[in-house]
Amino acid sequence: MIHILAVDDDKGILELIRRALEHEGYFVDTISDSTEVLNKKLEQYQLILLDVMMPEMDGFTLCKELRERVDCPILFLTAKSEERDLMQGLGVGGDDYIRKPFGIGELRARAAAHLRRESRERKYLVEVAGVQFRLQAKKMSWQDAEVPLTKSEYAICEYLAVNRGQVFSKERIYEAVYGFDGESDASAITEHVKNIRAKCKHLGLEPIETVWGIGYRWKSE
């Protein structure tokens, strides 16, 4: 059974999340005190839903701590609408975000999309211009050094690399990576690409090109 952890100081929202996702057959743990999260056996969860504004430890700070221990998708629940705040969440290791107030349908669809991406069966090793992709492990390496990517960052790299030479808009990349065709915010892709470039640059790798006014592509060589 798939295990999901939801963290929010609003117990009413936690109950809504629990009922909505248990209806889909998931097992849902809920925590209202963010300081208790790090005491859990976090490796048991396939998805974490994390509120941003919490009194003891905010979601961004908690996400940084979680990323030291888990690599499952982390989705922020946020009432914030400022782009810089949303991009900050992605910068500290989040994979996506859901704006409050959200509908049950959107919550279920976003959760299902990320879980589906996690469970896709992959069996091959792919090498593109010297960059290796271990598709089952979802790891990217360059010159025998692993690039420390989040799940979303890896998925973007894999999609662009497998389709190298082609230019894709932010919207197309978002749809391909997340598999969710409802309302989305493709600006998340911009921040993910920024993070990818920073991590790759440390290894002397610059794999993603910007095609101004259109989108991004993986360098052919």
How many residues appear in the chain?
221
What is the crossing angle of helices 151-162 and 187-201, to 10°?
90
Instruction: Please give the chain's pLDDT, 221 residues, in tens.
Output: 799 999 999 999 999 999 999 999 999 999 999 999 999 888 889 999 999 999 889 999 999 899 888 878 899 998 866 566 677 778 888 888 888 889 999 999 999 988 887 765 444 577 888 898 888 788 999 988 899 999 899 999 999 998 888 899 998 899 888 875 544 577 889 999 999 999 999 889 999 999 998 999 998 66
> CA–CA separation, 180 vs 192, rounded Å?
17
* Global pTM value: 0.62
